[in-house]
Amino acid sequence: MRTPHHHSFYPIVMITGTSSGIGFEWIKILAREKFRVVATALPKSVQQVRDAGFKDSDPFKLFDLDISDLNRQKEVVREVQKRWGDIEILINNAGISYRSVIEDMSSQSEAHQMSVNFSGPMHLTRLVLEGMRKVFRGRIVNVSSVGGMMAMPTMGYYSASKWALEGATEALWFEMKPWNIHVSLVQPGFINSLAFKKVFYSDKKGLKITTSPYASYYENMTQFISFFMKHALFDSKDVAKVIYKTICKKDPNLRIHGTPDAFFFYYLRRILPARLFLRLLYCMLPKRKDWVRK
Ligand SMILES: NC(=O)c1ccc[n+]([C@@H]2O[C@H](COP(=O)([O-])OP(=O)(O)OC[C@H]3O[C@@H](n4cnc5c(N)ncnc54)[C@H](OP(=O)(O)O)[C@@H]3O)[C@@H](O)[C@H]2O)c1
């Protein structure tokens, strides 16, 4: 049985986006382990997490946090510091995905995609680094994607956000090495989850889906991606376990494949000459000959 006395020795772990998918599986794992957990969820989803049985207690604290709200990030981190101390492990998990060809993307949607998947997580990272440097110990895990190593039509901005996250995280890996702070990117591939139902569409496309010159792109890519997700052999729980192993590892790698298909795509991209890799993927796109409707 845990006692409040022991809690002061448990490391403080913070994870964003815990209302569903990987984040939700993660708080289930953490609830069984010796951590003080700072879970965050969008304001609209906080109640959902509470209803699932995660109520505030000594080793568990739930905050509402929209990751793109930088002031709220500061308030949450300050509150945790006051209550428990500095965050020792940060998992940037919250993420969204736009389904839009580049031409249909609005500037507003672009800013939304980038702030949730890149600038928000990086800002939160900056807020916790000082505390980690002070004790010469810490861990940052940024949840990336296979989309962070390759791009697909209608997912350009999702990839852009994850590539940005990958670039900054790679630099951080070098910067934090001398401070004994381990920095990792977990790259899940297709996951058997309902996350594909949550995709965002840019305003322009939402208005003109059937008349869009790209209508066939959306139709085929949506089916293609949902097919792979529905039939994926791995789910959010598997990725949550990979993240858990990453934070327990003495010296984790910078890039970690979240699912075996991520491993497959990584090697395919490494082994094949770039020209061949792109053409091979292009040939695999569903009904691509009908994409331009004349
Ligand atoms: N599912 C996949 O196949 C897949 C593949 C590769 C990588 N990933 C990555 O894995 C991570 C987790 O995704 P998932 O599969 O678990 O999907 P998910 O079930 O949609 O979870 C994403 C979480 O992020 C939250 N979120 C959305 N916008 C937010 C914001 N502005 N501020 C704070 N939280 C926000 C969502 O909250 P609400 O539920 O309230 O909207 C949700 O809890 C993401 O970074 C994603 O890009 C997923």
Residue 4 confidence (pLDDT): 38
The SS3 call for residue 89 is strand
Pairwise CA distance, residues 60 & 194, whole Å:
26
CA of 6 to the centre of ligand 1 (A): 32
Helices and strands: H and E segment counts in the chain = 12, 7
Strands (E), the chain: 12-15, 36-41, 60-64, 89-92, 138-143, 181-187, 255-257
Question: Residue 211's pLDDT is what?
Answer: 74
Report helix angle 156-176 to 107-114, nearest 10: 30
For the chain, domains (ranges, CATH) are 8-290 (3.40.50.720)
Asked if residues 143 and 98 have their Cβ atoms less than 8 Å apart, the reply is: no
Tokens of 145: 């994607």
* Residue 198, ligand 1, Cβ within 6 A: yes
* CA torsion through residues 27, 244, 158, 199, sign: negative
The confidence score (pLDDT) of residue 204 equals 61
167 CA to centre of ligand 1 in angstroms: 20
Report the pLDDT value the prediction gives residue 32, as an integer from 0 to 100: 85
Relative to the CA of 22, which ligand 1 atom is closest?
16
Assess contact for 208 and 218: CB atoms under 8 A: no
Q: What does the alpha-carbon distance between residue 129 and residue 21 come to, in Å, rounded to a whole number?
A: 26
**pLDDT attached to residue 176:** 98
Helix (H, G, I), strand (E, B) or coil at 90: strand
The active-site residue out of 158, 214, 217, 218 is: 158
Integer-rounded Cα Rg, in Å, for the chain is 20
Please tell me the predicted confidence (pLDDT) of residue 196.
75
Residue 14, pLDDT score: 98
What spacing in Å lies between the alpha carbon of 270 and ligand 1's midpoint?
Answer: 28
Dump strand ranges (E) for 136-243.
138-143, 181-187
Distance CA 194, CA 50 (A): 20
Q: Cα(139)–Cα(136) distance, rounded to whole angstroms?
A: 11
What number of other Cβ atoms are within 10 A of residue 108's Cβ? 10
Burial of 189 (0-12, 13-18, 19+ CB in 10 A): buried
- Measured at the CA of 36, the angle between CA 31 and CA 39, to 5 degrees, comes to 70
Confidence (pLDDT) at 121: 98
Q: Is residue 61 classed exposed, middle or buried when 0-12, 13-18 and 19+ CB atoms within 10 A define those classes?
A: buried
Of the candidates 15, 50, 12, the residue with the CA atom closest to the CA atom of residue 236:
15
Annotated catalytic residue 158: yes
Check pocket membership of 66 for ligand 1, CB cut-off 6 A: yes
Task: Check if 22 has its Cβ closer than 6 Å to any atom of ligand 1.
Answer: yes
Contact present, 70 and 123 (Cβ < 8 Å): yes
By C-alpha distance, which of 102, 110, 149, 117 is closest to 281?
A: 149
Is ligand 1 within 6 A of the CB of residue 148? no
The pTM is what?
Answer: 0.95
Whether the CB-CB separation of 92 and 124 falls below 8 Å is answered with yes
Instruction: Per-residue pLDDT tens, the chain, 294 aa: give them.
Output: 333 344 557 999 999 999 999 999 999 999 888 899 999 999 999 999 999 999 888 799 999 999 999 999 999 999 999 999 999 999 999 999 999 999 999 999 999 999 999 999 999 999 999 999 999 999 999 999 999 999 999 999 999 999 999 999 999 999 999 999 999 999 999 998 887 789 999 866 554 566 788 989 999 999 999 899 999 999 999 999 999 999 999 999 999 999 999 999 999 999 999 999 999 999 999 999 999 976
